[in-house]
Amino acid sequence: ETGVTQTPRHLVMGMTNKKSLKCEQHLGHNAMYWYKQSAKKPLELMFVYNFKEQTENNSVPSRFSPECPNSSHLFLHLHTLQPEDSALYLCASSQDWPDPNTEAFFGQGTRLTVV
């Protein structure tokens, strides 16, 4: 139990589908993140939310749309994805942002395959 829960664990979707990834944290943290992890590549930060406000958007294509209704929940809405978007999508949370010495707690990720 990591304190950060992601659903679903696995997702296969067609390029015309619309789906959403969900993340929930029970740690009382103020900051939540979406990362993309591709094989043998560094983690790529996609979005950061601090106190429900988006503070970072690292040039992510508009086919990825985040939503943060409260400090405990984070969604990533997906539509018209491309096969190269297939990856492990990790959600994380930390006490605050930015806070350089605060560790991040990660969920187990959603393994996304776009066909």
Would you tell me which residues interact with another protein (CB under 8 A)? 2, 4, 40-45, 56, 90, 97-101, 103-109
Shortest Cβ 79–another protein spacing (Å): 26
Pick between residue 34 and residue 97 the one whose CB is nearest to another protein.
Answer: 97
With 0-12 / 13-18 / 19 or more C-beta atoms within 10 angstroms meaning exposed / middle / buried, residue 98 is: exposed
Identify which of residues 77 and 99 has a Cβ nearer to another protein in the complex. Answer: 99
Q: How many CB atoms lie within 10 A of CB 3?
A: 14
User: Least Å distance between CB 7 and another protein?
Assistant: 14
**Residue 2 or 30 having the CB closest to another protein:** 2
3-class DSSP state of 52: coil
User: What pairing do the DSSP bridges indicate for beta strands 110-114 and 10-13?
Assistant: parallel
Hey, what are 15's tokens? 């390029």
**If you search the block for the tokens 């930015």, which residue do you land on?**
98
Shortest Cβ 67–another protein spacing (Å): 22
Q: Which is nearer to another protein, 5 or 17 (CB)?
A: 5
